[in-house]
């Protein structure tokens, strides 16, 4: 296999391109602290975070990584001041609109995962439009976790499965781990191999709880808007040095 097609940067030379994570999950934390350090409003941190994200998705796509799931807005983030929530929603809207021309031009498939019903009609419309616009692309699949919470996702899956059992379409003894995976937002996608969280916090915060059973976790003190392609390469190199045993020896 030739790797010449990958636009490798200098810092990427230690990466084993035969052993890339297939799916990376990212908890993009620290936007607010990044802004505070500069005396800027929190919104400036989110805006800088969106810029950082574009570069990371482009690099993952160039490297040949197949899936990236990014935590953009959790089911708990509604507790933030209305002004901040509105700003994030507008940013997401702009990101999706721009993605139709920029990321789609890079062959990225964009999907939103999470509860759509509580989002504004305009945002729901834009999500559908962007998903439709990018669905036949063949590059990286980017899941934007938006109004997403892993516990809600699991509850929703359980309800779907119970309904199948109630309707007589499934026997209770047929329920297994695969059936649960098949009823999550990430159905038909591999589980994340690597989860990255920025900003020095070392917790999962209701992100992909079912899917990360065997994920490698990687934390950095860097705040998300400062996260660069070199940091991504470091995370991947560290991931490749880990010994994944999946419960075996
Ligand atoms: C956590 O930082 C970050 C978020 C809640 C939002 C993440 C959003 C982005 C990176 C930009 C928009 C994303 C897309 C897909 C356009 P925080 O605000 O909790 O930071 P803090 O812990 O320093 O306060």
- DSSP character string of the chain: ---TTS---GGGGG--TTS--SEEEEE---HHHHHHHTT--HHHHHHHHHHHHHHHHHHHHHHT--EEEEEEEETTGGGS-HHHHHHHHHHHHHHHHHHHHTTGGGT-EEEEES--TTS-HHHHHHHHHHHHHHTT--S-EEEEEEEE-HHHHHHHHHHHHHHHHHTTSS-GGG--HHHHHHTSTTTTSPPPSEEEE-TT----TTSSTTGGGGPEEEE-SS-GGG--HHHHHHHHHHHHHS---TT--
Is residue 2 pLDDT above 50, yes or no? no
Q: Atom 12 of ligand 1 has which residue's CA nearest to it?
A: 50
Reported confidence tier of residue 4, pLDDT bands at 50, 70, 90: very low
157 assigned to some structural domain = no
Q: Give dist(CA 62, CA 6) in Å, integer.
A: 6
- Please give the number of the atom of ligand 1 that sits closest to the Cα of 35: 23
Q: Atom 8 of ligand 1 has which residue's CA nearest to it?
A: 72
Reported confidence tier of residue 246, pLDDT bands at 50, 70, 90: confident
Nearest Cα to Cα of residue 235 among 59, 3, 51, 48: 59
Rounded to the nearest whole angstrom, what is the distance from the C-alpha of residue 203 to the centroid of ligand 1? 15
135 assigned to some structural domain = yes
At residue 193, the pLDDT reads 98
Ligand 1 contact, 21 CB (< 6 A): no
Ligand 1 contact, 57 CB (< 6 A): no
Both tokens assigned to 79: 């507790």
Mutate which of 206, 224, 227 for ligand 1 pocket (most atoms within 8 A of beta carbon): 224
Mean pLDDT on 190-219 = 98
At residue 5, the pLDDT reads 46
Convert the pLDDT of each residue in 103-153 to its tens digit. 777 899 999 999 999 999 999 999 999 999 999 999 999 999 999 999 999
Q: Give dist(CA 247, CA 127) in Å, integer.
A: 39
Residue with the bigger pLDDT between 90 and 101: it is 90
Supply the CATH number for residue 101's domain. 3.40.1180.10
Convert the pLDDT of each residue in 155-201 to its tens digit. 999 999 999 999 999 999 999 999 999 999 999 999 999 999 999 99
**Catalytic positions, please?**
29, 77
At residue 244, the pLDDT reads 77
Q: Atom 7 of ligand 1 has which residue's CA nearest to it?
A: 72
Tokens 């994340």 found at = 192
182 assigned to some structural domain = no
Mean pLDDT on 11-20 = 84
Ligand 1 contact, 28 CB (< 6 A): yes
Reported confidence tier of residue 12, pLDDT bands at 50, 70, 90: low
At residue 247, the pLDDT reads 83
172 assigned to some structural domain = no
At residue 13, the pLDDT reads 65
225 assigned to some structural domain = yes
Mean pLDDT on 225-243 = 97
Is residue 79 pLDDT above 90, yes or no? yes
Q: Could you give the strand order of the β-sheet that contains 109-113, starting from the edge strand earlier in sequence?
A: 109-113, 141-148, 67-74, 23-27, 194-197, 216-219
Ligand 1 contact, 92 CB (< 6 A): yes
Q: Give dist(CA 125, CA 128) in Å, integer.
A: 5
What value does the mean pLDDT of the chain take? 94
Q: Give dist(CA 195, CA 67) in Å, integer.
A: 12
Mean pLDDT on 76-87 = 97
- Residues of the domain holding 144: 18-149+191-241
Q: Give dist(CA 70, CA 143) in Å, integer.
A: 6
Split into its structural domains, the chain has a count of 1
Convert the pLDDT of each residue in 98-110 to its tens digit. 988 887 778 999 9
Distance between alpha carbon 192 and the CA centroid of its chain, in Å?
A: 9
Nearest Cα to Cα of residue 223 among 74, 27, 41: 27
Both tokens assigned to 189: 């996608």
Both tokens assigned to 139: 């590059």
Reported confidence tier of residue 22, pLDDT bands at 50, 70, 90: very high
């Amino acid at each position: 296999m030739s790797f010449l097609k990958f636009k490798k940067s200098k810092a990427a030379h230690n990466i084993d391109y035969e052993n890339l994570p297939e799916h990376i999950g990212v908890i993009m934390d620290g936007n607010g602290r990044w802004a505070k350090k500069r005396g800027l409003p929190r919104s400036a941190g989110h805006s800088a975070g969106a810029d950082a994200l574009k570069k990371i998705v482009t690099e993952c796509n160039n490297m040949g990584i197949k899936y990236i799931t990014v935590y953009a807005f959790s089911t708990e983030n509604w507790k933030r001041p209305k002004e901040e929530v509105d700003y994030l929603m507008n940013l997401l809207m702009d990101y999706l609109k721009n993605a139709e021309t920029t990321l789609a031009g890079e062959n990225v498939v964009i999907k939103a995962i999470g509860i759509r019903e509580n989002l504004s009609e305009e945002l729901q419309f834009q999500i559908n439009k962007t998903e439709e616009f990018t669905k036949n692309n063949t590059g990286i699949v980017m899941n934007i976790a938006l109004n997403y919470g892993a516990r809600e996702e699991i509850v929703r899956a359980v309800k779907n499965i119970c309904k199948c059992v109630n309707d007589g379409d499934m026997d209770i003894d047929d329920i297994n781990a695969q059936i649960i995976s098949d009823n999550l937002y990430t159905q038909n996608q591999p589980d994340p191999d690597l989860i990255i969280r920025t900003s020095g916090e070392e917790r999962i915060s209701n992100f992909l709880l079912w899917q990360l059973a065997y994920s490698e976790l990687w934390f950095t003190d860097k705040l998300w808007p400062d996260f660069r392609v070199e940091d991504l390469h470091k995370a991947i190199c560290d991931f490749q040095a880990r010994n994944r045993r999946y419960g075996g020896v």
